[in-house]
Amino acid sequence: MEKSTSQRIRLGVFVVLGTLVLISALYYIGNRQHLFTKNIPVFAEFENVNGLQIGNNVRYSGINVGNVSKIEMLAESRILVQMMVEESTGKFIKKDAIATVGTDGLVGSMVVNILPGKENLASIKPGDTIASYSRIGADDMLSTLNVTNENAALLTSDLLKITNKILEGKGTLGVLVSDSTLAKNIKQTLLNLQETSRQTTIAMSKINRELADLNIDESLAGTLFKDTLSRNRIENIIMKLDTTSSHIAGITKNVETMINRIDNGEGALNYLTQDQELVQNIDTTLFYIKQSSIKLDENMEALRDNFLFRGYFRRLERQERRAMKKAMKD
């Protein structure tokens, strides 16, 4: 039963090695190092990684698909992060996917979130670099929050003033809030409105009844409503009326212009209508013309009796008589 020294040593070595293998296997499985899955390297450049460490998870659409395997400083504010992503999920990551550094929970460790790209682009290949944007740091957020707080303080002080005024009954809102008479008036108005609407409802129902009773097909209104031919005619008439009225408007305008001119003393008509002397002159002229025509009449009578023109007048008389006889025969 007694074992030899070499046997005991070999068993000891075996136990120690076995324990070490067990511990390392548990460590790798426990940390989900993806030992047994095929991984592809993917790169992303950041300005600020917010405390990202090697071994932090990489998430794509919220699923752990790998982890950060290397963080390298390339230049000032250029940090290259290498991620090992499972090949099986890598085919779903498109070339326009965006990597961001986020936090796992409120105070949890950092994670790299890969946001999905558009579907029509090709999938990433091993060694590809995807776009990234660095998250706003807590300091920036706090400074923005500070400005917001200051604004909020100003706003609340203004609001306080306004509410104080309202409480004191100043301003329109104050009156609205504190004036009981106004409230009563508004209440009364509302009651009146209610009554009016009630009456309107009754009136509307009456109108509805009347309309229902009216035999609309046989009336003029019915014709107007239903006959499309009449409607076209009426439309034509109205169009023509429209044209006519526009013409009338033009004429009226012209007349107005003319009257204005006349009033202003421009043109002959004004001279004719407004000048008193002209009227007298015309009157005198007419008198003279009358006198002259009387005298001309006398002269003509004398001329007829003159021997030189007597033959001509006799010929005229003869022609007239002939024409009368012919007319009587017809």
Partner 1 sequence: MVASNTVWDNVKSFFEEIGDIAYFTGRFFREVFKPPFEFRELLRQCYNMGNRSMLLVGVTGFILGLVFTLQSRPTLMQFGAESWMPSMVSISIVREIGPVIIALICAGRIGSGIGAELGSMRVTEQIDAMEVSGTNPFKFLVVTRIVAATLMLPLLILLGDAIALLGSALVENIKGEVSFLLYFNQVFDSLKFSDLIPATIKSFFFGFAIGLVGCYKGYYCSKGTVGVGEASNAAVVYTSMLLFVIDFIAVFVTDIFFGI
Cβ closest to partner 1, residue 27 vs residue 288: 27
User: Quick one: which H or E segment has residue 193?
Assistant: helix 180-213
Cβ closest to partner 1, residue 15 vs residue 221: 15
Distance between CA atoms of residues 250 and 263, nearest Å: 20
**What's the min distance (Å) between Cβ of 55 and partner 1?**
14
Q: Which residues ranging from 18 to 47 are in contact with partner 1 (CB under 8 A)?
A: 19, 22-23, 26-27, 29-30
The answer to whether 9 contacts partner 1 (rule: CB under 8 A) is: yes
Q: Which region, judged by CB under 8 A, interacts with partner 1, from 11-19, 207-215, 251-259, 315-323?
A: 11-19
* Closest listed residue to residue 52, CA positions, set 152, 143, 161, 132: 132
**What's the min distance (Å) between Cβ of 20 and partner 1?**
10
**What's the min distance (Å) between Cβ of 9 and partner 1?**
5
The answer to whether 55 contacts partner 1 (rule: CB under 8 A) is: no
**What's the min distance (Å) between Cβ of 31 and partner 1?**
8
Q: What would the two tokens of residue 291 be?
A: 């006198």
Produce one character per residue of 296-317: b if its CB has 16 or more CB atoms within 10 Å, e if not: eeeeeeeeeeeeeeeeeeeeee
Q: What would the two tokens of residue 42 be?
A: 């993917």
Cβ closest to partner 1, residue 13 vs residue 316: 13
* Closest listed residue to residue 130, CA positions, set 49, 43, 192, 201: 43
Burial of 97 (0-12, 13-18, 19+ CB in 10 A): buried
The answer to whether 141 contacts partner 1 (rule: CB under 8 A) is: no
- Is 94 in contact with 87 (CB distance < 8 Å)? no
Q: Which of 3, 118, 326, 329 binds partner 1 (CB under 8 A)?
A: 3
The answer to whether 269 contacts partner 1 (rule: CB under 8 A) is: no
**What's the min distance (Å) between Cβ of 7 and partner 1?**
7
The answer to whether 7 contacts partner 1 (rule: CB under 8 A) is: yes
Distance between CA atoms of residues 314 and 307, nearest Å: 11
Residues that bind partner 1 (CB under 8 A): 3, 5, 7-16, 19, 22-23, 26-27, 29-30
